[in-house]
Amino acid sequence: MVTTHVNPDCDALGSALGMAYLIEARGKKARIINTDPTPSRFDFVDPDSRIEVYSDTVFPAEDEAVVVVDVGDLRRIGKLGEFFLEHPRPFACVDHHKSNTGFAQVNILQPEACATGLILARLAKEWNISIDPKLASALYIAMYTDTGGFRFPNTDAETLRVASELIEAGADPSYLATEFSDNMPLGRVRLFGEILENFKLEAEGKIIYVTLTLDQLEKHGCDRSDVEGFVEYIRGIEGVELAILFRQADQQNTKLSFRSGDYVDCSLLAGKFHGGGHYHAAGATVFASVEETVRQVLPEAIRVVETGAQT
């Protein structure tokens, strides 16, 4: 049984599918159960609708081995993680998050890999598994999106070499990139309009931040998956080093997303609020209202940006 993190992105989904294909290529059965449903705009990643959603009737059987992909912390699996706390069993974990806690019994952790999808491509080679178009597409979209379309600093020669091999194996780069960028729901665009209107600047424009409430999401018929990509976009504004999104997760919790341009280590910053992630992209959840979270986090962010001190 393969699973990945809540609010799955394309690396999570592509890697879960990729892991299932690799397991099957080695002659075993595999299935995928996630805590959260796949956002409809990512349906193209799972053309055979293989991914199931955890519920009272869909849950891991006792004799199923568990492989967790693209997850650095058991809490990131959400309700399924709680299920595993009640029904303990050994885990294998394939991941590239620098902040991975090593929670699994068997770990394949390669933090220098641009995406978990790349680690799976390496595994396919090591295991002499020939990559068919479905596996190629799953791993390609994982790498394409976790590198911001081969733009982020995690894009290296191996990334593009493996991407090229995946194209030779049947991944269609134009189709996958277009599916990822197109079909933007109108509500998402309107919500983005609000973000562009309401962001605030600190530290002489080196920090940009914006808050988002559940009411705002609801007003535009959006869910949290519709927010993806916004914080990267505003990070790209001239002079911005650090972008922070404060999103109300529920009545008690605020989700933080950090994105940095150059010298701020987001995973260390997120770690101060019990979160984690990568150097240039990380997140955390704070048990407080949005306003209170801004009050807690902003001074620390300003200090880090102005002094360059990471700890």
* Distance separating alpha carbons of residues 159 and 147, to the nearest angstrom: 9
* Contacting residues for 164 by C-beta, under 8 A, at least 6 apart: none
List 67's β-bridge partners, or say none.
Answer: 2, 92
* Distance separating alpha carbons of residues 208 and 231, to the nearest angstrom: 9
Determine the residue with CB nearest Mn ion. 11
Closer to Mn ion by Cβ: residue 116 or 211: 116
Min dist. Cβ of residue 15 to Mn ion (A): 7
Min dist. Cβ of residue 59 to Mn ion (A): 25
| Nearest to 14, CA basis, from 42, 33, 35 | 42
Min dist. Cβ of residue 238 to Mn ion (A): 28
Closer to Mn ion by Cβ: residue 76 or 211: 76
50-51-54-59 Cα dihedral, nearest 10 degrees: 50
Closer to Mn ion by Cβ: residue 146 or 226: 146
DSSP states along 8-35: --HHHHHHHHHHHHHHHHTT----EEES
Closer to Mn ion by Cβ: residue 34 or 116: 116
Closer to Mn ion by Cβ: residue 145 or 248: 145
Closer to Mn ion by Cβ: residue 146 or 241: 146
Residues contributing to the site for Mn ion (CB under 5 A): 11, 70, 116, 146
Closer to Mn ion by Cβ: residue 70 or 226: 70
Min dist. Cβ of residue 110 to Mn ion (A): 11
* Distance separating alpha carbons of residues 259 and 305, to the nearest angstrom: 12
Min dist. Cβ of residue 12 to Mn ion (A): 7
Burial tier of 42 (Cβ tally within 10 Å: 0-12, 13-18, 19+): buried
- Give the position of tokens 């997760």: 249
**Cβ contact 31:59 at 8 Å:** no
Min dist. Cβ of residue 268 to Mn ion (A): 18
- Give the position of tokens 């595999």: 30
- Give the position of tokens 């650090």: 242
Min dist. Cβ of residue 203 to Mn ion (A): 28
